[in-house]
Structure 1
Amino acid sequence: MRAAILQETGQDKLEVVDDLEAVGFGPGKVRVRIRATGLCHSDLSAMAGVLPQPAPFVPGHEASGEVAEVGEGVTHVRPGDRVLICWNPPCGACLSCRRGQSELCLTALFTSAGVPGFRRGGMEVFGFAGNGTFAEEIVLGGAAAVKIDDDVPYDIAALIGCGVTTGLGAAINTAQVEPGSSVAVIGCGGVGISTIQGARLCGAARIVAVDPVASRREAALRYGATEAVAPDELPAAKQRLSPGGEGFDYVFEVVGTSATARTAYDNTRRGGAVCIVGAGATDDFLQLNMFELFFDEKRILPSLYGGTDVLRSYEKFIDLWRSGRLDLESMITHRMPLAAVNDALDSMRSGEALRACIEF
């Protein structure tokens, strides 16, 4: 089958091949024909080595498709079903799941992320985060294939599989933005735009979008931001838009660096909430002093995959999309075939695309 492979960590181009084989099918597994996969910044981070991932590997974790085959014991889906891919499906039995924090379940990552999911000739090839959706077919644990209704287009389902759920969930579930509050969102790619939409749905009165790319700032205004500024304009916006210039009620960091996290903290009012959404590197440390932590009483809220039961979040966000309250169609600004995957990656790096989508 066709797929796109990163041969060595640090390379910025993928090799599109036509001789890759998905392996590992058996009891408890499903084989899925990928129909659409989004390009998420986490894929770029894994390619660059910011996120840990053995190479060679097939990037991609935000996808949807059609069930081609089910293994023994899989009963919730059958061949022909339309599914979205849950890159970190909850097991339902671990301590995190039993506490009601299924977004923290590590069972799937521990059992699949370090196991090669593909083979090319005599070479083993991994899938990013145990997935690898830049391929025509993929073998996954049964729980990772989440059945959806036929009215949900493949490209929309792919977005909900990661970026939309992560951004909306940060605002709605993790931060629980209050009506009438003030919000700033640092980083306005696909996840940041979803965070803005989440804050709007929660009833935030002021939503300031912060991004160095002018096209992304313009897009943020269409999705619910009340103002959009470049990073160097944020201090002035803070003085102008918050009482006494004290800062925003909620600031979301959707980039994944200590520098932007520090900016988020500094622009949050005392007693406000800093929500960390971006996925950063293990060697990038955020520095806060003990006095400010105590004295400012700012809440630091990390948000992983939407911050709550991801399967229930899928249902809620699909319902919001159906009702017309959530705009997902216009977020996909680039649609292209797998052969153009490197062009899609370049458009993401340059900020030209809120979300690029590979269609099979």
Structure 2
Amino acid sequence: GEGEEEGEEEEEFKLLSAAWELLGSEEKRRQYDSLDYFNDALPTAFRPRADDPGRFFRVFGPVFARQAKFSVARPVPSVGDDETPLEEVQRFYAFWTRFRSWRDFSLLAEYDTAEAEDREERRWMQRQNKNEVERLKRSEMRRLMSAVELAQENDPRLHRAKEERAAERELQRRRKEEALAAEKRAKAEAAEQARAAEAAAAAAAAGRAAFEASPLSELVCEALEEGEVPVSTRGVVLTAPRTVEAKNVSLPPTLGEGEVLVRLEVASLSTRDRDLFNGEQAAAQVLGQTAVGTVVALAPDVGGLRLGDAVVVSQGEDAFGSRGSGAQAGLVVRDAASEVFEVPAESLGPLDYDDVLIAADYLAPGMALARMAANGVDAPVGQGEKKRGSRCFAVFGCTPLGLMAVGALRLLAGDAAVILAVDRSATRRELALRYEATQALAPDRAAEALRRLDSGRGFDGVVEASGTAEGLAASFALLAAGGTLASLSAHPTELVPLPMRACCEKSARLSFGTRRAAARRLFPTALKLLRAKRFPVREVVTHRYSIDEAQEAYEAAADEAGDASAVFLYPSGQAREGAARALYSSLD
């Protein structure tokens, strides 16, 4: 009826009045919005997936977008994406860790103050409601901060930044360590250089004392004061066939371009010396080819050498008789760049001048011969076997050069290789076995050994070290098809005594060279091998003579029936025993 309609209208009016009152008050409107239907779910756990890097943004992006409506501060930053700069990411988390929310939980209060019976009860209800609202607010903020921390812990952009910072710190640490290590090395090198300079100064002082006591010192000191070289020096001169004499040898009055004056300490008598001694040569021929000594004067344009340097003088055969040679006390070397090379300072001390000469004149060329005969093999060929068995080599002539080739072949070819040494001297054959030759035979038994070796196939490489035409022909006869014949000897004949047809049928390789080039190239390596003391290298020197005993020295070297190996001559006096003689670095 009419009364019911009036009741409904009155109820609608009350609802409209309540809605108007709610919308008209900002405080009440926020209270309503705080509890209006709203998805306030926050993640409490998150497991990143390497195959889905975008999952983080799909999970946390909507969460922070929903919570942004309650922010007091504006504007509210968003999560962003994987490409968002690190600065914006850091600002995002700085904002949310200090987040201020206007969300109000007053409508969830337990007590309705309108129902209070008196003022005291209303005040009590208000206190209870306030405590409950604050508790709900704190609980909600803790929940939100937990979500912020969970996002920070799993944000891939922060992980990358952390890894980059760690990598940068590690790089800085390594750089610091390297700088400290470099500084330490530099200090150690400086200390070593200071010690070396101190030792050089001491050696210079001792060297000067030794030099001033020598026959050449007075002349050299006068020459340095006047800008000239001594007018003469003592040298070994071929005065007639098989006759030599220690005489004064003229020297140029001044040093020309590229020239150095060397005080020679020890010289070796070469195959060429022997041939000149035995042959029909003109009188006044000055002998000697390879020697070791000390620089006592040098032209201004000579680089790389200093006064007092220990050097090897290795002259070509064209130097004989033209401008002085190795068997004289003082020698002006006209082409220092090609005929003189320095002995490393660190090699002196454990080694003496004899050792240096052995390394330069025998060991370095012997190593070159071994490489040539092994056809350039740098690793032990004996470690792996060919179809027919181990590699086989022969060395014809157990001269000092040949003995060094035997030892170098053993190092190069390995323990499995067969190395035959051939020489007429039983003494030298015995020494070859100590150089680790597999077998050492006389020349007349070499053919027999060849027949026993793989049905006479021959040797893969043959070294000719006798320095004779007969030795060259015999070496070729031992060679296998496709093998290499190597020689550095100075043969007395202009023509190579080898059958051309046999060379072609064997497909033989002929590998020849000069001892001087081999000595310069392999000299540092030879010094290292000599210091290793694997082979009895000093025993190749069987005779030592002073310059006054030159006739005896050359007769020993030319005695083909004897057992002499290396014959050393001391142009500046007798040989001295023990360690290296002291060197000097200045004459003032």
TM-score, normalized by length of structure 2? 0.50
Aligned partner of 2:462 in structure 1 is: 251
Deviation at residue 85 of structure 1 after TM alignment = 1.1
Matched, 1:345 2:554: yes
* Number of residue equivalences: 317
- What is residue 10 of structure 2 aligned with on the other side? none
1-side partners of 2:320 and 2:329: how far apart? 21
Distance between the aligned counterparts of 2:264 and 2:419, measured in 1?
A: 36
Q: Any idea what SS the aligned residue of 2:239 has?
A: coil
Q: Is the 8 A contact 2:476 2:498 kept in 1?
A: no
Aligned: 1:288 with 2:499: yes
Larger radius of gyration: 2
Larger relative CO (CA 8 A, sep 6+): 1 or 2? 1
Q: Confirm or deny that 1:138 pairs with 2:331.
A: yes
Q: Deviations over 1:220-252 (max 9, x none)?
A: 111221211111101111122x21221111111
Partner of 1:104: none
Say what the alpha-carbon RMSD is for the aligned residues.
Answer: 2.4
For 1:332 and 1:263, locate their aligned partners in 2 and report how far apart those are by CA, in whole Å. Answer: 26
Give the counterpart of 1:230 among 425, 429, 442. Answer: 442
- Amino acid corresponding to residue 341 of structure 2 in structure 1: V
Q: Which amino acid aligns with 1:14?
A: V
Deviant stretches of 4+, over 4 Å: none
- Measured in 1, the distance between the counterparts of 2:321 and 2:398 equals 33
Alignment gaps of 5+ in structure 1: 89-108, 118-126
Q: Is the counterpart of residue 170 in structure 1 residue 372 in structure 2?
A: no
Match of 1:195 among 405, 424, 428: 405
Counterpart of 1:356 in structure 2 is 567
Q: 1:61-81 CA deviation, whole Å, 9 max, x = no partner?
A: 121011111111112111111
CA offsets per residue over residues 316-343 of structure 1, 9 Å max, x none?
1112112334542222122221112222
How far apart, CA to CA, are the structure 2 residues paired with 1:200 and 1:114? 35
Aligned position for 1:7: 239
1:319 aligns with 2:521: no
> How many Å apart are 1:358 and its aligned residue?
1.5
1:37 is matched with which residue: 249, 267, 270?
267
In 2, the alpha carbon distance for the partners of 1:237 and 1:162 equals 30
Q: Are residue 16 (structure 1) and residue 226 (structure 2) matched?
A: no
Greater share of helix residues, 1 or 2? 2
Rounded to whole Å, the distance in 1 between the matches of 2:354 and 2:520 is: 18
State whether structure 2 residue 65 is matched by structure 1 residue 65: no
Distance 1:145 1:279 in 2: 20
Conserved? CA contact 2:392–2:419, under 8 Å: yes
Q: TM-score, normalised by structure 1?
A: 0.80
Tell me which amino acid in the other structure corresponds to 2:326: T
In structure 1, which of residues 203, 208, 218 is the aligned counterpart of residue 420 of structure 2?
208
User: What's the counterpart of residue 303 of structure 1?
Assistant: 513
Q: What is the rounded CA distance, in whole Å, between the counterparts of 1:114 and 1:86 in structure 2?
A: 12
Partner residue, 1:27 = 257
- Which structure carries more strand by proportion? 1
The answer to whether the 8 Å contact 2:315/2:516 transfers is no
Shift of 1:146: 1.5
